[in-house]
Structure 1
Amino acid sequence: MSLVEYATTDGVATLTLNNAPANCYSRDMMTELDAAILKARFDPDVHVIVVRGAGEKFFCAGADIAMLQGADPYFKYNFCLHANETLLRLEHTPKLVIAAIDGHCVGGGLEVAMACDIRIARQGRGKCGLPEVKLGVLPGTGGTQRLVRVVGKSKAIELMAVGEVFPFERAAELGLVDHLWEAESHADFHAKVLEWAGQFVPPKAASRAVGLIKRACQTGAEIAIADGLALERELQQRLFEGEDAREGLAAYNEKREPEFTGR
């Protein structure tokens, strides 16, 4: 059985974390997730990536605690390093990444979700938070760094120091969740996510421009503004040299809807 199921539908690749009962990740799952991210990155027919958990109870409950308890510090360090590298690969992939959160999203599961560009949660279906302090450790898969960038320094420190776990509605108030949707079932929720993701797929959207907007923001937020502006200019020039920019400008001048190709 695959720990990360990979499927594509109409230009959207879905990566499903599948490790019952809580979709906890191990070294093997991270290795499969890493491979799935690369598969989606290299596929020119994939324009959007959706990450979700199997079943309705958990998106992901984080790292497999039993596995970590039995591991030596050398393994634990390299396990955290590989997890960091995998989520950075997801963050650096120039395609929009959506976390479809239908079930509890805690610990490392929230760290996975924060590495996605947009987070959509199913209303009333779970809680999220970074409670690692209650295990005597810190959120070690990017949580201390990404939570600060999402909610601000003082609030991030408070949430992690207390180890608070809270409903999706509170997550939406904090800005951790971008959209909170009602859905009748797990399948209905995923169908709604796929439909929403379709707006970023050609011919409706210039998906290459969407991907480079992401890259400009992800990298630009971490560097000086002059360097960020230089990056923006270079990415813009790449788009000017592509088909979609020519199509978009022509369609505007001809007063018609553009037909984008993602190139």
Structure 2
Amino acid sequence: MTDATAQSAERGSLVRYRVQNGIALLTLNDPPANTYTYEMMQELDRSILDARMDDSVHVIVITGHGDKFFSAGANIRMLAEVTPSFKYFFCLHANETLSRLEQTPKLVIAALNGHTVGGGLEIAMAADIRIARKGAGKLGLPEVSLGVLPGTGGTQRLARLIGKSRAIELMTTGELFDFEKGLELGIINHIFEAENNEKFMEQVMAYAQQFTPPNKAARAVGRIKRSVQSGAEIPFEYALALERELQQQLFMSEDAKEGLTAYVEKRKPQFKGQ
């Protein structure tokens, strides 16, 4: 496993993967639009699992290569050439991959460096926090213009984010809108101003760093995420039971002991992510 303070060698062709200072950076890499194929989704799936299993990784950041697109979604040329059966299993695997991302008990931040449309927005909505670069692109789920629906969780996640009525309107009109409207709707958490993509990613990584040790108890951050993401989809009493179980896990952690001790001793806690 990589050391939390070190940078790993970058690997991957369609999804570049590297770890630096406790943050796993996953970059969708198929220019110009970073559209995804089954091959890219397999690499994304593998990268999510790698980040999940690496104890030195506390936060996951997903972005797109270049400064034009986060992702324009599924590769339309690929979809036009494969069989209906392949399309079905392609969507099923994409659903499984994004659910794995959503359920991993580590904070996931989507850094929207450019246009984030169709399946690209579906990937971003599976993250916990979405940060966009000001003026860098548009958002939207325009699949209706192709005679299909947003089939990688888009209809469900958008409705959960902004409510059924507004979600239906956005998807049936196929509207593309700027990041400011996305912020107003609650799809985007923050918009950062940056002169270029390199500066934007520096800001995003600095933002992500606050959730890593020694700044935060990363296990607590991850289990807050898990309690919300999983608990919101099950009956309330079961969600409370999940919350209690996750809390019990944290009570047994070294960071909880450190946090409680530091409070009593009136000092700043030094968390280790353990």
**TM (normalized to structure 2)?**
0.95
1:124 corresponds, among 124, 127, 135, to: 135
Determine the C-alpha separation between the residues in 2 that align with 1:44 and 1:220.
24
2:234 pairs with 1:223: yes
Determine the C-alpha separation between the residues in 2 that align with 1:211 and 1:246.
17
Could you give the per-residue CA deviations for residues 29-70 of structure 1, whole angstroms, max 9, x where no partner exists? 000000000000010000000000000000000000000001
2:119 pairs with 1:108: yes
Q: What is the aligned partner in structure 1 of residue 261 from structure 2?
A: 250
Opposite residue 53 of structure 1, the aligned amino acid is G
2:163 pairs with 1:152: yes
Stretch deviating more after TM superposition (1-10 or 107-116): 1-10
Once the 2 structures are TM-superposed, how far is the Cα of residue 251 of structure 1 from its aligned partner? 0.1
2:23 corresponds, among 3, 12, 37, to: 12
Runs of at least 5 residues in structure 2 that lack an aligned partner in the other structure: 1-11
Once the 2 structures are TM-superposed, how far is the Cα of residue 81 of structure 1 from its aligned partner? 0.2
Could you give the per-residue CA deviations for residues 124-147 of structure 1, whole angstroms, max 9, x where no partner exists? 110010000000000000000000
Q: What is the aligned partner in structure 1 of residue 244 from structure 2?
A: 233
Q: Note the 1:31-110 alignment, pairs <5 A.
A: 31-110=42-121
Determine the C-alpha separation between the residues in 2 that align with 1:228 and 1:102.
35
Once the 2 structures are TM-superposed, how far is the Cα of residue 8 of structure 1 from its aligned partner? 1.1
1:166 corresponds, among 172, 177, 183, to: 177
Determine the C-alpha separation between the residues in 2 that align with 1:219 and 1:168.
27
Opposite residue 129 of structure 2, the aligned amino acid is I
Q: What is the aligned partner in structure 2 of residue 200 from structure 1?
A: 211
Question: Helix, strand or coil: the match of 1:200?
Answer: coil
2:225 corresponds, among 203, 206, 214, to: 214
- Aligned identity (percent) is 64
Question: Helix, strand or coil: the match of 2:210?
Answer: helix
Once the 2 structures are TM-superposed, how far is the Cα of residue 17 of structure 1 from its aligned partner? 0.1
Q: What is the aligned partner in structure 1 of residue 273 from structure 2?
A: 262
Question: Helix, strand or coil: the match of 1:100?
Answer: strand
Determine the C-alpha separation between the residues in 1 that align with 2:32 and 2:50.
26
Determine the C-alpha separation between the residues in 2 that align with 1:158 and 1:217.
26
Question: Helix, strand or coil: the match of 1:187?
Answer: helix
Once the 2 structures are TM-superposed, how far is the Cα of residue 19 of structure 1 from its aligned partner? 0.1
**TM (normalized to structure 1)?**
0.99
User: Superposition RMSD on alpha carbons, in Å?
Assistant: 0.6
Question: Helix, strand or coil: the match of 2:188?
Answer: coil
